A and B are shown apart, each in its own frame.
Chain A
Amino acid sequence: MRNTIVSIIAILLGLIAGGLLMLAIGSNPIEGYNYLLQGALINIERIGNTLATATPLIFTGLAVAFAFRTGLFNIGAAGQMLAGGLAATAIALTFEFSRPVMLILMILGGLLAGALFALIPGILKARFNVHEVVSTIMMNWIAYWSVYYIVPGYFKGPSLETESQKLPDEYTLRAPFLSDMFDGSYINYGIFLGIIAVIIIAFIIDKTTLGFELKAVGFNRHAAEYAGMRVNRNIILSMLISGALAGLGGVALYTGNASSMQIGLLPSQGYDGIAVALLGANNPIGVFFAAILFGILYSGTGFMNAMTEIPPELANTIIAIIIYFAATSVLIHRIIDKVKRSKANRPEHKKGEA
């Protein structure tokens, strides 16, 4: 509850600061935000696109938040996304199955690839105490260059050297009924996977013995060890699950929102996941709404730019400011405390004086 208030205050402060920026470059902030919102939500197609934009962020946000609950900082979500996306793409371009079987295989493949990619830093951390921040960043570049090598080498598209072949429509997460329902939007099954993931992760964290253990390890590994929990196993397990989530994010991005993989790009959603987790206070439900907000900002910015003089970079700026306020939430906590205290004191003082 309290975290929610803090996050909302951070968002409001970020939006106000964004408005001031718009003023500073001589634009009307009300008009700007109006177009931003319209761009994201004005019709059913745009709503669909906004949800689709948010989908990979739900996954990467969950991935970062989940690892963080175990005291791990997984900033390798980008690499794990690439691994997941590449695995799903490779499966779809190599084999032939009926659509349901193929989709399940692609999802599982992406999930496993992401998990395996995070397993390596997990093992390094558990066995040799290699800090996961270092190893996951290195794994990002391993994924980046692996895609650079594998896509042109094995799955080259017909025209472009830098892109994989396009997946056939029936081998993507797109569904005609969804596209129809959302007036031709590129929304796809990914959003449902995301919602399911949110529910499962929230359940694991709050209701299961596994979650109890993982959180205990995250808060105080010495006490967890004392109580007989296997700390190293939990670290590896946590990285596996985190990587699997990011891998699914890759599946949603590369075989849902897009239908091919480009080389030479680390998906920005990987790092954005950190911001989403932070704003969502590492809570799965919080992550969901934070991801939707980011989706709105990202997908509305183009329309805003088309209708006004405001540059599209403003969306990124607003996000950065929101993150800044979320990261310094201690301040907000303190202000809330003060307000509460002065409220609580007032009647008492009166009593004292009377």
Chain B
Amino acid sequence: MSYVVEMFNIRKEFPGIVANDNISLSLKKGEIHALLGENGAGKSTLMGVLFGMYQPERGIIKVREKEVRITNPNVANQLGIGMVHQHFKLVENFTVTENIILGSEPLKGLVLDIDKAAKRIEELSKHYGLNVDPYAKIEDISVGMQQRVEIMKMLYREAEVLIFDEPTAVLTPAEIDELMKIMRNLIKEGKSIIIITHKLKEIKAVADRCTVIRRGKSIGTVNVAEASEESLAEMMVGRHVNFKVDKKESTPGDTVLKIDSVSAKNNRKVMALKDFSLEVRRGEIVGIAGVDGNGQSELVEAITGLRKVESGNILINGEDITNAPIRHRIEKGIGHIPEDRHKRGLVLDYRLDSNMVLEVYNKRPFAKNGLLNFGEIRAYAENIFKNFDVRSGEGGASLARTLSGGNQQKAIIGREIELDPDLLIAVQPTRGLDVGSIEYIHKRLIEHRDKGKAVLLVSLELDEVLKLSDRIAIINNGELVGIVQASETNENEVGLMMAGISKERSV
């Protein structure tokens, strides 16, 4: 079988870091090839090189057995290489068709021929089973659908090689299944796919071969059918990985967080959280399970003060904080690992060490009489980097923007745990992270619980909720469906409840 893309001995450096060191990868025609590695291992960089976003310092790229120089993404497109980025590049208030033709608009005389394009998109959609409405506006369609628009963009441009950068990070479980189906369809039609991921389950589900890289170095390429999840994980992390979470029985103490029939509206001014009540006690992890968009974000924002509460009360350690300012809540002991690390979690253009004191920059010893003490800030930040294994090019002086997603997340988690909050709210704490980091973060969350603190875990990954929580509250359409003991339930029961099918309220 012939190779469509071959990359030989690629080397790419960034200031202070060798992102790719002598990496080779070859893609057969008609295969799904997974690129597996921890966060910051250099997967995205390697694909950036293939897509023309970075110029390698060394190495050869061949496309259809001809050596090429891919100097920018346009060259990649001409060579039939397309990329679905992790963060979509779509114009929100344009229609699907308008977004797809952007940059290669079909003309009829001097006017745009939208209808022709829309027709072609409809055909493509049918052909590949994408089910995209060419006339829908991007802002009105779901994230999964938006991703399909990105895929459509490549098909419209007749790409033969499709690169997916962590495509499942933003999807719900059902959407992930759908995407897998689409990928298989694409292969059937003769396309070739590279998928960047660190989710072993997905690799086992769709990929034919898998190339593993670790810390910028190539570890090897294996046939997925002959490898187990465990062996892949070991290749990726470089040591044995524990998939099970070791934790003791919880010993809940006093109530830290008391939510009493709280209602809140979402951004579209519709009631998204309805009469929601929940208690979280010291020494326990309470997980919130639910399908994305069922009121989890609103619940978290109501507790942290980012969203106004319409009715009901929220108490921390017995104090009513329903209308308290955010800073007051932080001082009362709420730590928050936010859902969106770029939007809320970090000031990306600040140095990393400044980001580590984002909530406490005005407290001693970091500031005195309104003057910052940079020495103390640096020392404090260094300590977090060490404890949480945050890797960056230039340490605390690196801009937060320059870190890989996983390291950004570890930095945020480190910052919040370092505050030692009575209530730690962790929203999707391991989203987009590799198994090594996930294992580590899970351990830290349980440690926090064992220190006698309360943890509220919100996650779309049911596995994670089941594994970590002591109790699980299921939310559907903004309402509490029920609360179950994690030790007495299973995926099926919680899954049903997530769909809104209530069982007898227990606990």
Q: Decide if A and B are genuine partners.
A: yes
Residues of chain A having any CB pair with chain B under 8 Å:
207-210, 212-213, 215-216, 219-220, 222-230, 345, 348, 352
Instruction: Determine the chain B residues whose CB is within 8 A of the CB of A210 once the complex forms.
Output: 370
B371 touches A208 (CB 8 A): yes
Chain A: CB-nearest residue to B354 = A212
Q: Which residue from chain A places its CB closest to the CB of B346 in the assembled complex? A: A223
Pairs across A and B, CB under 8 Å, 19 listed: A207-B372, A208-B371, A208-B372, A209-B367, A209-B371, A213-B361, A216-B358, A219-B348, A220-B347, A223-B343, A225-B326, A225-B344, A226-B336, A226-B338, A226-B344, A227-B359, A228-B327, A228-B330, A345-B57
Residue B440 CB within 8 A of the other chain: no
Q: How far is the CB of B45 from chain A (nearest CB, A)?
A: 16
Residues of chain A within 8 A (CB-CB) of B500 are none
Contact A226–B58 (Cβ < 8 Å): no
CB neighbours (8 Å) of A207 from chain B are: 371-372
Report if B261 contacts A (CB, 8 A): no
Closest 6 pairs (CB-CB, A-B):
A228-B327, A227-B358, A226-B344, A228-B326, A209-B362, A219-B349
With both chains docked as a complex, state the minimum distance between the C-beta of B132 and any C-beta of chain A, in angstroms. 30
Instruction: Report if B68 contacts A (CB, 8 A).
Output: no
- Are A220 and B348 closer than 8 Å at their CB atoms? yes
Given contacts A228-B325, A345-B57, contact A222 B371 (CB under 8 A): no
Q: State the CA gap A148–B447 with chains docked (Å).
A: 70
What is the minimal beta-carbon distance from B331 to any residue of chain A, in angstroms? 8
Among B343, B358, B359, the most chain A Cβ lie within 10 Å of the Cβ of: B358
What distance in Å separates the Cβ of A354 from its nearest Cβ neighbour in chain B? 15
State whether A216 touches B370 (Cβ < 8 A).
Answer: no
Instruction: Render B312-348 as a binary contact track against A, CB cut-off 8 A, 1 for contact.
Output: 0000000000000111111000001010000111111
* Structural contact, A209 and B58, CB atoms closer than 8 A: no
Q: Determine if A228 and B359 form an interchain contact, defined as CB atoms under 8 angstroms apart.
A: yes
Rounded to whole angstroms, the CA-CA distance of A228 and B361 in the bound complex is 11
How near does chain B come to A147, taking the closest CB pair, in angstroms?
37
Asked if B306 and A212 sit within 8 Å, CB to CB, the answer is: no
User: In whole angstroms, what is the CA distance A210 to B367 when docked?
Assistant: 11
Q: Could you tell me the distance between the alpha carbons of A207 and B344 in the complex, rounded to whole angstroms?
A: 24
B8 at the A interface (CB under 8 A): no
Give CA–CA (A258, B370) in the complex, Å.
38
Contact between B306 and A226, CB atoms less than 8 A apart: yes
Cα-based distance from A260 to B84 in the complex (angstroms): 63
- The answer to whether B350 has its CB under 8 Å from any CB of chain A is yes
Collect the chain A residues with CB atoms within 8 Å of residue B349's CB. Answer: 219-220
Contact of A209 among B306, B343, B345, B372 (CB under 8 A): B372
Show the binding face of B for A, using Cβ within 8 Å: 57-58, 304, 306, 325-330, 336, 338, 343-350, 354, 358-359, 361-362, 367, 370-372
In angstroms, how far is the closest chain B Cβ from the Cβ of A210?
A: 6
Of chain B, the residue at the smallest CB distance from A223 is B347
How close is A89's CB to chain B, nearest CB, in angstroms?
34
From A345, which residue of chain B is reached at the shortest CB distance?
Answer: B57
- Is there an interface contact between A352 and B58, defined as CB atoms closer than 8 Å? yes
* Docked-complex contact B370 and A222, CB < 8 angstroms: no
| A216 and B362 in contact, given A207-B371, A228-B325 (Cβ under 8 angstroms) | no
Q: Are A222 and B325 in contact (CB under 8 A)?
A: no
Interchain CA distance A226-B334 in the complex, whole Å: 12
Is A223 a contact partner of B358 (Cβ separation < 8 A)? yes
Chain A residues closer than 8 Å to B338, beta-carbon distance: 226
What would 14 more interface pairs be, CB under 8 Å, given A216-B358, A223-B358, A226-B338? A207-B371, A208-B372, A209-B362, A209-B367, A212-B354, A213-B361, A219-B350, A220-B347, A226-B344, A227-B358, A228-B325, A228-B326, A230-B325, A345-B57
The reply to whether A209 and B348 form a contact with Cβ atoms under 8 Å apart is no
CA–CA, A222 to B307, complex, Å?
A: 12
Smallest distance from the beta carbon of A245 to chain B beta carbons, Å?
Answer: 19
List residues of chain B with CB within 8 A of the CB of A219. Answer: 347-350
Contact indicator B345/A223 (Cβ below 8 Å): yes
B370 to chain A: which residues have CB within 8 Å? 208-210
**A223 — which chain B residues lie within 8 A by C-beta?**
343-347, 358
Q: Check A215 against B350 for contact (C-beta < 8 Å).
A: yes
The verdict on A212 contacting B348 (CB below 8 Å), with A225-B326, A226-B306 known, is no
Q: Contact between A226 and B326 (Cβ–Cβ < 8 Å)?
A: yes
| Inter-chain contacts of A208 with B (CB < 8 A) | 370-372
Complex CA gap A331/B329 in Å reads 45
A230: chain B residues within 8 A (beta carbon): 325, 327
Report B-chain residues with C-beta under 8 Å of the C-beta of A216.
Answer: 347, 350, 358
Chain B residues contacting A228 (CB-CB under 8 Å) are: 325-330, 359
Interface centre among B344, B347, B354, B358 (most CB of A within 10 A): B347
- Chain B residues positioned under 8 Å from A227 (CB to CB): 326, 330, 358-359
Q: Which residues of A contact B343 (CB under 8 A)?
A: 220, 222-223
> Bound complex: CA of A225 vs CA of B327, how far in Å?
9
Complex Cα–Cα for A216 and B345 (A): 12
| Distance in Å: Cβ of B321 to nearest Cβ of chain A | 13
Q: Which has the most chain B C-beta neighbours within 10 Å: A207, A224, A225, A227?
A: A227
CA distance A353 to B328 in the complex (A): 63
Complex: chain B residue closest to A215, CB-CB: B350
A224 to B330, CA, bound (A): 13
Q: A224 contacts which chain B residues (CB < 8 A)?
A: 347
Report how far A223 CA is from B354 CA in the complex, Å. Answer: 13
How far, in whole Å, are A207 and B377 apart by their CA atoms in the complex?
12
A237 to nearest B CB, angstroms?
Answer: 13
**Complex: how many Å from CA A352 to CA B11?**
13
B328: which A residues are within 8 A, CB to CB?
A: 228
Q: Are A212 and B325 also in contact (CB < 8 A) when A219-B347, A226-B344, A345-B57 are?
A: no
Min CB–CB distance A161 → chain B (angstroms): 49
Q: How far is the CB of B485 from chain A (nearest CB, A)?
A: 32
In the complex formed, the residue of A with least CB distance to B373 is: A207
Q: A219-B350, A226-B336 are in contact. Are A212 and B361 (CB under 8 A)?
A: yes
Q: Which residue of A225, A228, A230 has the most chain B CB atoms within 10 A of its CB atom? A: A228
A40 to chain B, nearest CB (A): 37
Known: A209-B361, A209-B372, A212-B372. A225 touches B348 (CB 8 A): no
In angstroms, Cα B13 to Cα A348, docked, is 12
Alpha-carbon gap, A342 to B304, bound state (A): 50
Assembly CA distance A216 to B57 (angstroms): 35
Task: Give CA–CA (A193, B21) in the complex, Å.
Answer: 55
Bound complex: CA A223 to CA B361 (Å): 14
Chain B residues within an 8 Å CB radius of A213: 361-362
Closest A residue to B58 by CB, please name it. Answer: A352
Min Cβ gap B167→A in Å is 25
The answer to whether B344 touches A222, judged by C-beta atoms less than 8 angstroms apart, is yes
Contacts of B325 in A (CB 8 A): 228, 230
Closest to A206 in B: B372
Q: Give complex CA distance A209, B371 in Å.
A: 6
* Distance of A348 Cα from B367 Cα, bound (Å): 45
Distance of A240 from chain B, by nearest CB (Å): 17
